[in-house]
Homo-oligomer: A and B are copies of this chain.
């Protein structure tokens, strides 16, 4: 990595390297988000798609395809597919979470209504399936349809496990696999599949995306209990106030004495939160070492992601993907 790029964030270097392909992906997204008959569809979709997200998921598909030597046109379709699936889940998530803001702007369910978000989300799911059929690869279809099922299953599990103090780390892992890691893993995996790499490399791409997504999501939990709001843009304690079972909390629960347990029961299960509770919650997590343990787990997932890359072709993009795995956990160092 040269001096000129040392200061640049890895996803920005990826975006730079894949600039032409990302332009093609964005053009395809705009082309396919239209509807001949229902103008509400592109209106709602544009609100999300053009809100300036990092396009990390489609970039992973392009990166994997390029790193694996793919020279055909279909990685563009698959990258757009992945972004459509992501956008559809965001629309439905905001309905389910009754969210009013996303990426600093009012959500679609607020600007239009829940009905539009549900139905436009369905349309984008259907569009994503149309797109993924076009490359004509059954293996790709298998991977993406499995990912879609894992995502939805994770969402239902999150809903039913909400505020449930008996949530285990195992359930937590399934939820974040659904929320984040399944689409990351599918995004990288299909890039290798269309490039026709051998099965062990396909598995390595899956492992990379899966571990990257899990590490990313665990760090998100950590920033809520120990980050610097100025640099992370996250407020300390939002998850506590929303009574979310994050990994530091699950670990604290496993080590709770009777008093601690009564505290968690009151604040998380019953939602009776008072002045000073957040500070006490943070103290309990610190005291039992759960924040440090959670941090170590995030780092382990990042290391696992990088480790998987060693099986893949030596390529400048491989370095960027490795740096990306460092970057997602760097915020907690």
Q: How many interface residues does A have (CB within 8 Å)?
A: 44
Q: Which of A127-179 contact B (CB under 8 A)?
A: 127, 129-130, 133, 136, 138, 141-142, 145-146, 148-149, 151-153, 155-157, 159-160, 171, 174
Assuming A92-B122, A119-B159, A127-B149, is B141 touching A171 (CB within 8 A)?
no
Contact segment of A38-46, A72-80, A225-233, A239-247: A38-46
Residues of A within 8 A of B (CB): 35-41, 89, 92, 95-96, 114-116, 118-123, 125-127, 129-130, 133, 136, 138, 141-142, 145-146, 148-149, 151-153, 155-157, 159-160, 171, 174
Which of B115, B133, B155, B174 makes the CB contact (< 8 A) with A119?
B155
- Judging by beta carbons under 8 Å apart, are A40 and B159 in contact? yes
8 more contacts with CB within 8 A, not counting A38-B157, A92-B122, A123-B153, are A36-B153, A41-B156, A122-B125, A122-B151, A125-B152, A130-B146, A133-B138, A136-B138
A133 CB contacts on chain B under 8 angstroms: 138, 141-142, 145
Chain B residue with Cβ nearest A44:
B156
Per the bound structure, the CA–CA distance linking A36 and B146 in Å amounts to 14
Most B-side CB within 10 Å, residue of A36, A38, A142:
A38
Q: List 18 A-B contacts (CB under 8 A).
A: A37-B157, A37-B171, A38-B156, A40-B159, A92-B119, A95-B118, A96-B118, A116-B156, A116-B159, A118-B118, A119-B152, A122-B148, A122-B155, A125-B148, A125-B152, A127-B149, A130-B149, A133-B142
Per the bound structure, the CA–CA distance linking A123 and B114 in Å amounts to 18
Per the bound structure, the CA–CA distance linking A148 and B121 in Å amounts to 12
Give the oligomeric copy count. Answer: 2
Per the bound structure, the CA–CA distance linking A95 and B115 in Å amounts to 8
Per the bound structure, the CA–CA distance linking A142 and B133 in Å amounts to 7
Chain B residue with Cβ nearest A41:
B156
- Judging by beta carbons under 8 Å apart, are A148 and B129 in contact? yes
10 smallest beta-carbon distances between A and B, as pairs:
A126-B148, A123-B152, A126-B149, A129-B145, A122-B152, A38-B156, A38-B157, A96-B115, A130-B145, A133-B141
Per the bound structure, the CA–CA distance linking A148 and B119 in Å amounts to 11
A122 CB contacts on chain B under 8 angstroms: 89, 92, 121, 125, 148, 151-152, 155
